[in-house]
Amino acid sequence: MGHCARLANADESSVQRLFVQEVWKHLSLFQEAFLRLLADPKSKQLSRESCCKGLAACRGLIAAMASKDCSDAQDVSLLNDKLLRAFGQTTNYGGSAMMETDDEARERRNANDDAVGDGVDRTDVGGAAGISEASLEAYKEMAACALSLNQVDVLYSLMILSTNHPVWSVSTMKDKYSARALLGKANGATIEEIRVSLRPHLKNLVPKLLRACNVS
């Protein structure tokens, strides 16, 4: 998946290649497979981090295809919605038939953050997608931050940021699976924009990022 996204983002003509077209046709299946592997309690660090990069590559491929008029906004919406739901984040709060507005969802998440500051334990046993306890909380916090910022694509950058297996530092792998290579045009926000947007959330986000990086 990473190879496909990298090809499509590096050279726009690559979107016409048979390999890229076949992966594109089955993009939702790739995303579902990554989510299942990420949720598997037997998944180790490299497997889990590969899934994070694979999910980001799915978003990067959509961005590349959109630039060639091969996609539409609905594809992005469906991809993001599945990912957010897997991490327990949705505007359909608690499975209710009453849909929250963006403002209501943001107020609820801010209230949850205040509860954390008051010493309330938010640890979930098991988790929405069966992800291990520590990992789930990290991914849920990333998703909540992205939603509260109204910039869902920030979630993909955060997922890549949470990867620290030594294999990603090998010279032959470093550039191949970087945020720039996988996300391409989807990596639109500058580092400074992301830094400013995340600053209010760092108190809760950094510990969970560290937990995601160190749970095997």
Of the candidates 4, 182, 179, 156, the residue with the CA atom closest to the CA atom of residue 80: 156
Torsion angles phi and psi, residue 8, rounded to 5: -65, -35
Entry pTM? 0.72
Of the candidates 135, 112, 132, 131, the residue with the CA atom closest to the CA atom of residue 122: 112
Q: Domain ranges in the chain?
A: 2-214
Torsion angles phi and psi, residue 65, rounded to 5: -70, -35
Residue 93: the pLDDT is: 42
Of the candidates 131, 132, 124, 157, the residue with the CA atom closest to the CA atom of residue 142: 157
Residue 127: the pLDDT is: 33
What does the pLDDT profile of the chain (216 residues) look like in tens digits? Answer: 999 999 998 888 898 899 999 999 999 999 999 998 887 878 888 998 999 999 999 999 998 888 776 655 557 888 888 888 888 776 544 433 334 455 655 665 566 555 545 444 343 333 334 455 556 677 877 788 788 777 788 889 888 888 889 999 998 898 899 988 999 877 765 556 666 766 776 776 676 666 655 554
Other beta carbons less than 10 A from residue 198's beta carbon: 19
Of the candidates 16, 5, 143, 147, the residue with the CA atom closest to the CA atom of residue 63: 5
Q: Mapping DSSP to helix (H, G, I), strand (E, B) and coil, where does residue 67 land?
A: coil
Q: Mapping DSSP to helix (H, G, I), strand (E, B) and coil, where does residue 20 land?
A: helix
Spatial distance between the Cα atoms of 200 and 197, rounded to a whole number of angstroms: 7
Residue 164: the pLDDT is: 85
Contact at 8 Å (CB) between 20 and 4?
yes
Contact at 8 Å (CB) between 86 and 35?
yes
Contact at 8 Å (CB) between 155 and 143?
yes
Contact at 8 Å (CB) between 15 and 66?
no
Residue 61: the pLDDT is: 93
